[in-house]
Amino acid sequence: MIKVKKEDLKPGMILAEDVIGKNNIKIKRGTSLTERTINILKNNLLFSSSVVPVTKESYNSVLLLSSEEVETTKKVLTPNLVERLQIIKIDDENYKIEGNLENYFDEINIPGNLFVGGNIINCSFIYIAGTLSVLGDVENSHIVAKGDIMIHGDIKNRNKNFKINSFGVVTADNIYNATINANSVKVKYSIKNSDIIADTNIEGPVASHIQCSKLQAGYNIILGSVKQNSTLVIFSEKQMQVIKKLFEIEKRLKDFDKEIEPLKQSIRVFQILRSKINELPIEKRKILISNIKLFHQRIEKRKLLQKQFITLKTIASKIKEARESGPIVIEDEVEPGTKVVIDNSSFVVRMRDKGVVFYKKGMIIMGKKDKEWGVLI
C-alpha cells in the first residue's frame, strides 16, 4: 500500500479504505479511480500539504494501491483461498470456479482472468486483475476488474451499495439495484433502479427498457425504451480534461514563443560570425553558446507540446462529433418525466414519443430509425 500526493492521483489506483470528505462525500474501499473520482477526491477531501491520509478525526485514513502495486503485492492466491473457493488454475493468467462463488466475506484477489460457472452471491469484495466471466448471476457483491466483466445472467442486488467497477466493458442481461462504473456498459433486456456511469457508451437493443435509473455516459446512450422518471446524462469528464489541457498547452506554446524570440538574435549572431566566433571575449562567447543551446532545447520542447496539442485536438473533435450526431438515442418509446442532461443543458420529456434523438439544444427527431444514430468511439 502506498501513500500518494493529491497531484499524483491517477486512473487505475484502488482505494484501500473508505474515504469520507466534505459534505458527507463517501467513496468506498475497492473503488478504482477514474478521472471523475479523482476530481471528486481532490475537490472534497482535505489533503495535507504532503501526502494523504488526512490526520483529522472526522476523516478516515486514505490508502491507495496503484495497479502495479496490486499486481505485485495484493493479489496472491493463498492455499486456503484456493481450497475454500475451489479455484482451479488453468495457467498463470486464467482461473476458474466450476460452481457458485458465494457467501465469502473476506477479500478475494485473482491475479488474472476468472471464469465462474455458476453465480456470484454475497461476496464482500472481489478484485480481478484481468477479465471476469460469469455464466450465471451476480447478486449482492462488490467487484472490481481491470478488464471486462461479462455476466451471462443478471446483476441484481438488495440495494445500490453493491458496486461493480470495470476498466473495460460491463455486459449483462438485466441490471437491478446496481451501481456501476465502467468504460462502457451493454445491457440485453433491462436496467431498473440503478446508477450507471460509463466513460464512453451505454448501449442496449430496441427491446431493452430502462426504469427508475440514472445513466451517465461520456459519449453516447443508445437504448430501446425509457420509463418511469429516469435520468439520462451525457457528460464527459474526459472532454472537460481535454479542453482544460488544450488551454494550458496553448498558453505554454505562446510562452515558449515569447522565450524563443529573443534567443533568435543569438542564432543570427552565430550565423554571421561563424568562423570568427572564437575571437569573441570568453564571457560573450559563453553567453552566445548558452543561448544557442537554450534555443534548441526550447524548440524541441515546443515540438513535443505541439504534438500533444494536435492529439488532444483530434480527441476533442471526435467527442464533438459524437455530440452533434445525437448523443442520446431512444429507438422505441420514451415516457413523460424522463430527464435528459447533455453537458449541463437539461430537457424534460413532456409527451410520450417514439424514435427520439436528443441533442444538446433539446431538439428531438422523431420517427422510424433509418440509419445508425450516434457516433460510437
Task: Give the Cβ contact number of residue 284 at 10 Å.
Answer: 11
pLDDT of residue 368: 43
Q: What is each CA distance from 197 to 132, 203, 214, 215, 222, in whole angstroms?
A: 19, 12, 8, 6, 14
pLDDT of residue 250: 87
Which residues face 202 on adjacent strands?
185, 221
Arithmetic mean of pLDDT, 349-370: 64
pLDDT of residue 67: 39
Grid look-up 439520462 returns: 232
Asked if pLDDT for residue 279 goes beyond 90, the answer is no
- In angstroms, the CA 144 to CA 168 distance is 11
Give the pLDDT confidence of 127-141 residue by residue, as tens digits.
999 999 999 999 999
The closest alpha carbon to 246, from 184, 313, 189, belongs to 313
Give the CA radius of gyration of the chain: 26
Per-range mean pLDDT, top range of 34-48, 216-230, 309-323: 216-230
Question: Which of the residue ranges 48-57, 71-80, 320-329 would you say has the lowest mean pLDDT?
Answer: 48-57
Q: What is each CA distance from 176 to 24, 76, 157, 217, 330, in whole angstroms?
A: 26, 32, 6, 18, 20
Grid look-up 448523443 returns: 327
**pLDDT band per the 50, 70, 90 thresholds, residue 40:** confident
Whether the CB-CB separation of 329 and 225 falls below 8 Å is answered with: no
pLDDT of residue 98: 92
- In angstroms, the CA 233 to CA 327 distance is 10
Q: Is the dihedral of CA 135, 136, 142, 148 positive or negative?
A: positive
Cell numbers that stand for 139 in this block:
447478486
Share the mean pLDDT of the chain: 78
- In angstroms, the CA 246 to CA 5 distance is 24
Arithmetic mean of pLDDT, 58-71: 39
Cell numbers that stand for 101 in this block:
462463488
**What is the number of helices (H) and of strands (E) in the chain?**
5, 30
Asked if pLDDT for residue 115 goes beyond 90, the answer is yes
- In angstroms, the CA 366 to CA 181 distance is 31
Can the peptide bond before residue 205 be classed as cis, meaning omega within 30 degrees of 0? no
Asked if pLDDT for residue 254 goes beyond 60, the answer is yes
Q: Give the count of alpha carbons within 13 A of 114, CB side only.
A: 30
Arithmetic mean of pLDDT, 62-66: 43
According to DSSP, the β-strands at 101-110 and 120-128 are parallel
Distance of alpha carbon 37 from its chain centroid, rounded?
8
Q: What percent of the chain has pLDDT over 90?
A: 27
Asked if pLDDT for residue 156 goes beyond 70, the answer is yes
Asked if pLDDT for residue 65 goes beyond 50, the answer is no
Whether the CB-CB separation of 214 and 230 falls below 8 Å is answered with: yes
Arithmetic mean of pLDDT, 300-308: 89
Phi-psi region of 51 (alpha: psi -120 to 50; beta: other; left: phi over 0): beta
Question: Which of the residue ranges 2-11, 89-98, 174-183 would you say has the lowest mean pLDDT?
Answer: 2-11
Structural element, H or E, at residue 226: strand 225-227
Determine the 3-state secondary structure of 368 from DSSP.
Answer: coil
Cell numbers that stand for 362 in this block:
433539446
pLDDT of residue 139: 95
Task: Give the Cβ contact number of residue 264 at 10 Å.
Answer: 11
pLDDT of residue 152: 96
The closest alpha carbon to 374, from 257, 204, 215, 238, belongs to 204
Arithmetic mean of pLDDT, 307-323: 78
Whether the CB-CB separation of 173 and 134 falls below 8 Å is answered with: no
- In angstroms, the CA 171 to CA 168 distance is 10
Give the pLDDT confidence of 2-35 residue by residue, as tens digits.
555 666 677 767 766 666 655 555 676 667 777 7
- In angstroms, the CA 162 to CA 8 distance is 28
